[in-house]
């Protein structure tokens, strides 16, 4: 009896082995096909914007600044955490001397700083840095930002803190260097505002290009290396509020 049971058990094992062996190539092919589809899935692009302000405790115009960074990221998966920044462009228009003189009579040579150089300047004048976003934006706004960056870098524009007579032509201040990205439906006027208040107006000016403005995308800040910076994050609901003391 034990011999019969042993023979029966060996037969079952043999049949099962044959079945597994016959299925294994199919499973492998299915896995290879799935991996191939995933590998062939085209990467998609997404675009983001952070608008910044810097200002000192005394809120002096000469130590205040408006600037913005525009990002293109690409990824193959739905999760944004899988995206990687491919390009980052900052509009940060300053006098080339980095010494802002509000009532200078004539325009002067300007310089478009990158993000890290701008943050170093803010540190040098003892300014706090504020940020709206990162917001996802439509590609059109990103492309407009690139065109404005090229215009500033071309030497065709100079710096002028009080620039009313020069817009949108040969001279601009930092606020309008950013806001005039979207000047086709009228130039933005911020009145006697600068720093945080002016940057808040600029964010509102760009609202029509924001995708889900109630949602921010902190991974963009992380990939830009901003996590260790003491940046005060604001939202569109904070627009118009006095700076924190």
What's the whole-number mean pLDDT along residues 20-45? 55
| DSSP, residue by residue, 107-168 | -B-EEE--HHHHHHHHHHTT-EEEEEEEEEE-HHHHHHHHHHHHHHHTT--EE-SS-TTTTT
Tell me: pLDDT of 61 over 70: yes
Q: Which of 4, 19, 17, 134 is nearest to 72 (CA)?
A: 134
How many CB atoms are closer than 10 A to CB 152? 19
Tell me: pLDDT of 47 over 60: yes
User: If you average pLDDT over every residue of the chain, what do you get?
Assistant: 84
Q: Which residues are bridge partners to 136 per DSSP?
A: 48, 211
Pair 67, 176: CB distance under 8 Å: no
> What pLDDT is recorded for position 80?
75
147: exposed, middle or buried (C-beta count within 10 Å: 0-12, 13-18, 19+)?
A: exposed
189 three-state secondary structure: coil
141: its two tokens: 């706004």
Give the position of tokens 């589809």.
37
- Give the model's confidence band at 5: pLDDT under 50 very low, under 70 low, under 90 confident, else very high: low
Q: How far is CA 20 from CA 17, 34, 132, 183, in A?
A: 5, 21, 58, 68
Tell me: pLDDT of 34 over 60: no
Per-residue pLDDT tens for 72-86?
999 986 677 789 999
Domain ranges of the chain: 1-40, 44-238
- Give the model's confidence band at 190: pLDDT under 50 very low, under 70 low, under 90 confident, else very high: confident
Per-residue pLDDT tens for 87-132?
999 999 999 999 999 989 999 999 999 999 999 999 999 999 999 9
Distance (Å, rounded) from C-alpha 1 to C-alpha 5?
A: 6
Q: Which of 177, 172, 162, 154 is nearest to 92 (CA)?
A: 177
Distance (Å, rounded) from C-alpha 193 to C-alpha 204?
A: 14
Tell me: pLDDT of 37 over 80: no
13: its two tokens: 């094992």
How many CB atoms are closer than 10 A to CB 16? 10
57 three-state secondary structure: coil
Higher pLDDT, 186 or 9: 186
Tell me: pLDDT of 133 over 90: yes
> What pLDDT is recorded for position 25?
52
């Amino acid at each position: 009896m034990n011999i019969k049971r042993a023979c029966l058990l060996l037969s079952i094992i043999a049949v099962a082995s044959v079945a597994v062996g016959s299925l294994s190539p199919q499973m492998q092919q299915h896995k290879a096909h799935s991996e191939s589809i995933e590998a062939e899935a085209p990467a998609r692009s997404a675009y983001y914007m952070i608008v910044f302000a810097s200002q000192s405790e005394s809120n002096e115009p000469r130590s205040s600044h408006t600037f913005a960074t525009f990002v293109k990221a690409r990824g193959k998966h739905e999760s944004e955490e899988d995206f990687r920044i491919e390009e980052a462009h900052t509009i940060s228009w300053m006098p080339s001397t980095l010494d802002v003189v509000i009532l200078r009579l004539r325009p002067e040579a300007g310089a478009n700083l990158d993000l890290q150089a701008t943050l170093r300047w803010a540190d040098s004048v003892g300014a706090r840095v504020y940020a709206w976003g990162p917001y996802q934006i439509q590609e059109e706004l990103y492309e407009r930002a690139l065109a404005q960056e090229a215009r500033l870098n071309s030497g065709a524009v100079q710096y002028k803190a009080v620039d009313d007579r020069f817009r949108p032509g040969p001279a601009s201040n930092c606020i309008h260097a950013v806001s005039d990205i979207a000047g086709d439906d009228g130039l933005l006027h911020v009145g006697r505002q600068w720093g945080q208040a002016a940057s808040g107006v600029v964010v509102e000016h760009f609202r029509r290009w924001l995708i889900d403005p109630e949602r921010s995308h902190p991974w963009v800040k992380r990939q830009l290396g901003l996590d260790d910076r003491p940046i005060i994050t604001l939202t569109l609901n904070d627009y118009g509020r006095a700076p924190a003391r």
